[in-house]
């Protein structure tokens, strides 16, 4: 969480988001870039499995900002531990790819975990679509819901294509970089920097495109090649 940024900048540089493991290692590890949920969680799932953990890949629906109207099932999340169906006590939810609200550690099923000034929790509920699902919250804010149906790496190809190319996707609408910290959640969306705090207060600060590179470096620990930074700055000005 502290080493690999959450960002969608390649989408706005006209590049395909590739989610095979070789591409993920090349971009996120060797290239010291970031990514969004499929990139983060597919890479981390592979790391966990190579360390001997049992990992189940899942898919959920983002509810943040609109808990009622259904959106496509496009968020990847992980169960770690436990192999017996219904053995909830042995499993924890691990998610390293939900932007500024990403849990800073494992979250128990039907329980809560506190990291810094934030508390993440999971509980069962009936979704607006009528199905029983797990819900992830931070403090009192509903983030997303997800089912227990196991998914495979190939199952993320279609939602990844939607997320990175479809005009309805929030990732296509503006360059975004996010970071989750102990006492603040930071979101750079276009030229607005939003800081959310545990008491639910927030501030929004306009960013001059000329300051974009310094902000990426100082706040999000992300350095872009000069040509990429120049292309993004031109896009933000436009």
Q: Active-site positions? A: 37, 75, 95
Kindly report the number of other CB atoms within 10 A of residue 182's CB atom: 10
Q: What is the 3-class SS of the chain, one letter each residue? A: CCCCCEECHHHHCCCCCCCCHHHHHHHHHHCCCCECHHHHHHHHHHHHHHCCCCEEEEEEEECCCCCCCCCCEEEEEEEECCCCCCCHHHCEEECCCCHHHCCCCCEECCCEEEECCEEEEEEEEECCCCCEEEEEEECCEEEEEECCCCECHHHHHHHHHHHHHCCCCHHHHCCEEEEECCCCEEEEECCEEEEECCCCCEEEEECCHHHHHHHHHHHHCCCCCHHHHHHHHHHHHC
Cα(101)–Cα(179) distance, rounded to whole angstroms? Answer: 8
In the block, residue with structure tokens 């898919």: 59
Cα(185)–Cα(182) distance, rounded to whole angstroms? Answer: 8
Cα(6)–Cα(27) distance, rounded to whole angstroms? Answer: 12
């Amino acid at each position: 969480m502290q080493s690999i940024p959450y960002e969608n900048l390649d989408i706005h540089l006209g590049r395909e988001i590739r989610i095979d493991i070789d591409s993920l290692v090349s971009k996120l590890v060797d290239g010291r870039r970031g990514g969004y949920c499929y990139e983060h969680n597919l890479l981390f799932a592979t790391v966990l499995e190579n360390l001997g953990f049992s990992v189940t890949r899942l898919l959920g629906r983002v509810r943040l900002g609109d808990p009622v109207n259904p959106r496509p099932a496009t968020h990847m999340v992980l169960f770690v531990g436990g192999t017996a169906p219904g053995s909830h006590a042995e499993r924890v939810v691990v998610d390293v790819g939900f932007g500024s609200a990403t849990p800073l550690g494992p979250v128990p099923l039907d329980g809560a975990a506190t990291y810094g000034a934030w508390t993440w929790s999971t509980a069962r509920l009936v979704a607006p679509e009528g199905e029983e699902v797990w819900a992830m919250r931070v403090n009192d804010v509903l983030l997303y819901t997800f089912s227990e149906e196991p998914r495979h790496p190939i199952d993320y190809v279609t939602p990844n294509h939607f997320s990175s190319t479809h005009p309805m996707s929030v990732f296509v609408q503006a360059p975004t970089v996010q970071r989750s910290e102990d006492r603040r959640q930071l979101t750079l969306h276009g030229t607005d920097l939003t800081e959310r705090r545990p008491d639910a207060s927030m501030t929004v600060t306009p960013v001059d495109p000329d300051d974009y590179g310094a902000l990426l470096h100082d706040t999000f620990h992300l350095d872009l090649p000069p040509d990429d930074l120049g292309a993004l700055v031109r896009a933000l000005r436009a």
